[in-house]
Chains A and B, each alone.
Chain A
């Protein structure tokens, strides 16, 4: 029978010849990732009473959510994680200096095509940018995976999205991601896998594919996968010597839904408070004053994102009424941004450069909002209270829109 990528990967990781959407399988993930919440995973692992993790070589732990520790409680959790990885011989531990977990996973060669990867973070779907099937789970479930090396998964139905057309200048994969979420809604891909096809995807660098797969979580997706191609291979060649077997869907695979999108006329998009699927074209949000602008996160913290922002801010000044926070996604991105002069440009314009991490995106620290404040961010969620006060508002956009808004202190009508 013909199968989707999700069906093929889950069959292989469950030791079965084939599986179909709707079946429950016991799967063995290739790799598992936890960040600061490894502190909670460790606690649950101890509650199980297991002694050793199933395979220390399959566990990756980058610290990123509250780095450096913003409180004594977090400091204690980080300390317990450092002790645990030493005891258990987990070598793929990245302490606070390295960057956002998903960026680190992809950069450091911990994601390979055709693999099944689970993480204690909802945006684990991002690894589909390298043709892996990856998804988020909770801390207790991860503790059970650490103890047993397996977990139950339902084989998801698959949505096929075909994208055609060339982006207008200033329009980015983030705008496509927001547009799709607005169209399919926050529940549109619940429990489903999404596969992306078409000439626009073929032309899109891995960075943009990352943004798409990352944001697919905001329509409920279990997996979001861009099939393997030359761009995937090229990205991996520089980062891993690991063997992998790419998995492709059969042409006549049973897709539950199909969508076709033409981006030729797509304009920049804004997700309005307090829902990620409350998406409008940029002109409809024009004129809304903002107090803080955040450029960064696992969604848009890569070198091309920072370069786009710097290109718009070069030789100009951030509005005196705006706090512009820029967060390179990883140490590697940070270093590259230093070398290319991107950070100098941003600093001259008046940006505050933060260390790689998640900080303000989830309201952990570094840019908490007061009641009545508005933030425009390149991050992934705008839920009520997400960045601090429940009486604050978060708007989501691309790096280009964020940079323009930082200059004029409000959401622009268009990009010049």
Chain B
């Protein structure tokens, strides 16, 4: 995981639910690359085409509410989303994102930003710089951050169990 990332943002509202992030009809898909082709399709049918690697999703409160489907996190991660910044996260989505190695940042900055703006997230300093100023965010628990830094739960568990690649 990069200590500091800069990316173009897509700004979404409150309560972006899992059916909007990853519609239920795609749940039988097992390949992450194929999942990525449907990321945020419920926001707009062409949203997956708009996403470029390194983009950052910025949203309001309750991001990822609804289903336990981790495809909602996997599709964003595989589409190249560098981080999701939201005022708050639904708990299962938060865990799924961590487990997929997708950085999640709790900060409510959606009000002052528009699509295409650039922000920089400094994970060590827990600070976001954006056109409107800067914002602070609470640090993740050490054990949680360690999972993201390992690249997700699978590499973290492999390491814990002493399984060599």
- Give residues in A with beta carbon < 8 Å to B: 24, 36-37, 39-40, 43-44, 47-50, 65-66, 71, 73-74, 77, 119-122, 124, 136-141, 143-144, 147-148, 152, 186-187, 190-191, 220, 222, 275, 362-364, 381, 383-386, 388, 390
For this complex, into which size category does the number of interface residues on chain B fall?
35 or more
| Interchain CA distance A275-B151 in the complex, whole Å | 34
B24 and A141: CB pair below 8 A?
no
Interface flags for B141-165 (1: CB within 8 Å of A; 0: not) read 1011000000011100110110100
Partner of B28, one of A49, A77, A275: A77
Whether a CB of chain A sits under 8 angstroms from the CB of B19 is yes
Binds A, one of B4-12, B85-93, B107-115, B125-133: B85-93
Q: Is the CB of B88 within 8 A of A120?
A: no
Determine the distance from Cα of A124 to Cα of B68 in the docked complex, in whole angstroms.
Answer: 10
Instruction: Please state if A147 and B161 are interface contacts (CB–CB under 8 Å).
Output: yes
Which residues on B sit within 8 Å (CB–CB) of A49?
Answer: 158, 161, 163
Is the pair A148, B68 in contact by a Cβ cutoff of 8 Å?
no
What are 30 of the A-B contact pairs (CB < 8 Å)? A36-B27, A37-B27, A39-B30, A40-B70, A44-B154, A47-B154, A50-B163, A71-B28, A121-B67, A137-B68, A140-B96, A140-B100, A140-B154, A141-B95, A143-B154, A144-B157, A152-B144, A186-B65, A187-B61, A187-B62, A190-B90, A220-B90, A222-B91, A363-B25, A381-B66, A381-B67, A384-B42, A385-B19, A386-B24, A390-B42
Cα distance A360–B134 when bound, in Å? 45
Kindly state the separation between the CA atoms of A383 and B17 in the bound complex, as whole angstroms. 7
Contacts across chains A and B counted by CB atoms under 8 Å: 129
| A220-B65, A362-B24, A385-B23 as given contacts; A191 in contact with B91, CB under 8 Å | yes
Which of B20, B88, B153, B157 meets A385, CB within 8 Å?
B20
Chain B hits for A124, CB < 8 A: 68
Which chain A residues lie closer than 8 Å to B29 at the CB level? 73
| Least CB distance, A138 to chain B, in whole angstroms | 3
CA distance A363 to B42 in the complex (A): 13
Return chain A residues, CB-CB under 8 Å to B161.
48-50, 147-148
CB distance from A242 to the nearest CB of B (A): 26
**B28 and A138 contacting across the interface, CB-CB below 8 Å:** no
Q: Interface digits, B37-65 against A, CB 8 Å rule (1 contact, 0 not)? A: 00000100000000000000000011001
Residue B15 at the A interface, CB < 8 A?
A: yes
Interface check B75, CB cutoff 8 A? no
User: Cβ of A362: which chain B residues have Cβ within 8 Å of it?
Assistant: 19, 24, 27, 67
Q: Which chain A residues lie closer than 8 Å to B69 at the CB level?
A: 37, 138
The complex places the Cα of A315 from the Cα of B32 at a distance, in Å, of 51
B30 touches A40 (CB 8 A): yes
Q: Is the CB of B76 closer than 8 A to any CB of chain A? A: no
Q: Which residues of B contact A364 (CB under 8 A)?
A: 24-25, 27
Residue of B15, B25, B61, B99 touching A140 (CB-CB under 8 A): B99
Contacts of B163 in A (CB 8 A): 48-50
CB nearest neighbor in A for B92: A136
Q: Kindly list chain B residues whose C-beta atoms are within 8 Å of the C-beta of A386.
A: 19, 24
B66–A383 contact, CB under 8 A? Answer: yes
**With the chains together, A49 CA to B18 CA distance in Å?**
29
Apart from A49-B161, A138-B96, list 19 A-B contacts with CB within 8 A: A37-B27, A43-B30, A48-B154, A48-B161, A77-B30, A119-B68, A122-B66, A138-B68, A140-B70, A140-B153, A141-B153, A144-B153, A186-B15, A187-B62, A191-B91, A363-B19, A364-B24, A383-B18, A384-B19
Residue of A nearest to B42 (CB): A385
Q: Kindly identify which residue among B15, B30, B92 contacts A138, using a CB–CB cutoff of 8 Å.
A: B92
Find the B residue at minimum CB distance from A26. B143
Chain A residues lying within 8 Å of B62, measured Cβ to Cβ, are 186-187, 190, 220
Instruction: Specify which of A44, A144, A363 lies most central, judged by the most chain B CB atoms within 10 Å of its CB.
Output: A144
A226 CA to B91 CA in the complex, in Å? 21
CA separation between A27 and B16, bound complex, in Å?
Answer: 30
Q: Which of B30, B92, B158 contacts A137 (CB 8 A)?
A: B92
CA distance A44 to B152 in the complex (A): 12
CA–CA, A275 and B20, complex, Å: 12
Q: Which residues on the A side are within 8 Å of B121 (C-beta)? A: none
Chain A residues whose CB sits within 8 angstroms of the CB of B143 once the complex forms: 24, 152
- A187-B88 contact given A24-B141, A50-B161, CB 8 Å threshold: yes
Q: Is B73 in the interface zone, CB < 8 Å from A?
A: yes
C-alpha spacing A74/B100, complex, angstroms? 23
> A332 to B23, alpha carbons, bound, how many Å?
31
Which 10 interchain pairs have the tightest Cβ spacing? A138-B70, A136-B68, A138-B96, A383-B19, A362-B24, A49-B163, A73-B28, A122-B68, A363-B24, A383-B17
Contacts of B157 in A (CB 8 A): 48, 144, 147-148
CA distance A163 to B129 in the complex (A): 47
Q: Which residues of A contact B88 (CB under 8 A)?
A: 187, 190
Distance in angstroms between the alpha carbons of A363 and B95 in the assembled complex: 24
Name the A residues within 8 Å of B30 (CB-CB): 39-40, 43, 73, 77
Instruction: Report chain A residues within 8 Å CB of B67.
Output: 121-122, 362, 381
A77 closest partner in B (C-beta): B28
Among B27, B90, B91, point to the contact of A65 (Cβ < 8 A): B27
Residues of A within 8 A of B27 (CB): 36-37, 65, 362, 364
